[in-house]
Amino acid sequence: MSRLRKPRKIGLFGGTFDPVHEGHLALARTALADCGLDQVLFIPAARPPHKQQPVASFSHRVAMLREALSGSRTMAVSLVEAEHGTSYTIDTVRELKKQFSGQELFFLIGADSLVELHLWYCYEELLTQVRFIVAARPSVSLNQVMAAVAALPGDFVYDARTRTWQRDDGACIHYLADVRVEVSSSEVRRLLARGLPAPMVPKRVRRYIEIHQLYRQ
């Protein structure tokens, strides 16, 4: 009799990645290590519904991600949002649930996004479809994180040892307290526009930006 294969754990990391920087990579690496993920998929947004449109084109942002993840066996790029024209997170998750049937899906967000999760389209369905991995942010205290979880529907029970909130139906939120890289894509763009060094950008990505003269004023 063949052994049943254990479901793979796949992290979904959505964003504009305009451009990708070391903060993004640090979050993915920490999630891989702390949550036992097998892979993290970076999902660049083709058309972000609630943000201003990215400065760099979708093709450039994808190319920069591929440069940043070159050689990695545990991090890759997914073009699901471009291929299926999805805009909202729930649409992306529904499509990936089909692609990765039988696998465990985890969604990576920052603590600032958790505070606004109740405003997301179909957020209650999201809680039942993926497990959330929430990265600490310098601007969001642990008390704010706990208040945001308490405001979600249902009773989440907190386990301080694993820093995880669990609901009876399987909904789960894991808190990464050790990810506090203070860098943003907007700050990176400001430096690049002024012709200043941007050490928080991976070397291969910096070279790509220079070759294609991106983010110049």
> CATH number, domain at 59?
3.40.50.620
pTM above 0.85, yes or no: yes
Count of CA atoms in the C-beta half-sphere (13 A) of 183: 22
Q: Is 59 among the domain residues?
A: yes
155-173 confidence digits (pLDDT tens): 999 999 999 999 999 999 9
Q: Is residue 17 one of the residues assigned to a domain?
A: yes
> Distance between the two ends of the chain, CA-based, in angstroms?
64
**Which one has a higher pLDDT value, 7 or 157?**
157
In DSSP notation, 29-67 reads HHHHHHTT-SEEEEEE-SS-SSSPPPSS-HHHHHHHHHH
164 and 158 in contact (C-beta within 8 Å)? yes
pLDDT digits (tens, 9 = 90+) for 109-156: 999 999 999 999 999 999 999 999 999 998 899 999 999 999 999 999
* Residue-level length of the chain: 217
Single out the residue of 201, 152, 164 nearest to residue 25, CA to CA: 201
Query: What distance lies between CA 159 and its chain's CA centroid?
Result: 23
- Cβ burial, residue 191 (10 Å; 0-12/13-18/19+): middle
Domain limits at 110?
Answer: 9-183
For CA atoms 32, 102, 128, 150, give the dihedral sign. Answer: negative
The total of structural domains in the chain comes to 1
Residue 215 in any domain: the answer is no
Over residues 50-75, the mean pLDDT reads 90
Tell me whether residue 210 is in a domain. no
Q: CA nearest 134: which of 121, 168, 152, 122?
A: 152
Classify residue 207: in a domain, yes or no: no
Residue 99 lies in a domain: yes
Task: Let me know the angle formed at the C-alpha of 100 by 97 and 102, rounded to the nearest 5 degrees.
Answer: 90
- Phi-psi bin for 5: left (phi > 0), alpha (psi -120 to 50), beta? beta
Q: Is residue 200 part of a domain?
A: no
Residue 205 lies in a domain: no
